[in-house]
Amino acid sequence: MLAFLKFRLVILACLSLVLSACITWPGHRHTVDEENFYLHITTPSRVVKEEIRFNAEETELLFLPENAQIELIVSDNIGKHQLTIKENQGSIVYHYRLNGHKTTFGAKEKEWFASQVPLIIEKSKYQDGPSQA
């Protein structure tokens, strides 16, 4: 009897594991994970991802749709840059860390981000280039 209960428990555990692997959360996720460059874009759908807008000079993010998020982690000679960009009530909000320390997203940080925008565009593989204003 004890062996039968253990067998049922093992079968139930295996079935749960298999079913959990089949579940995917709704939305679109795009991840690029290279040696010193990590980019993760989360949007409700691929169509919404295409609504992300950069300026014509490819130095600034102009529009991030609702429920979209960009996470960027880059290691360079300055250190480890971690930037999370979210939309909040129509505004773009930047959360920036340098070497693990929360830092104001000021002029120097914006200049660094501007240098990363062409890489974001290239590595996110927009079909016809990103929408630009």
**What are the tens digits of pLDDT across the range 91-129?**
999 999 999 999 999 999 999 999 999 999 998 875 444
Full domain range(s) for residue 57: 26-132
- Closest residue by Cα to residue 66 from 42, 93, 38, 87: 87
Q: Is the pTM of this model over 0.75?
A: no
Which SS3 state, helix, strand or coil, does residue 7 take?
helix
Cα gap 93→119, rounded to integer Å: 20
Judge whether 2 lies within some domain.
Answer: no
Band of pLDDT at residue 90, cut at 50, 70 and 90: confident
Cα gap 106→87, rounded to integer Å: 18
Give the total number of structural domains in the chain: 1
Q: What is the mean pLDDT of the chain?
A: 83
Cα distances from 39 to residues 62, 76, 77, in angstroms, run 18, 15, 19
Judge whether 13 lies within some domain.
Answer: no
Q: In this predicted model, what pLDDT tens digit does every residue of 19-72 receive, in sequence order? A: 554 444 567 788 888 999 999 999 998 888 889 999 999 999 999 999 999 999
- Read off the tokens for 118: 């062409």
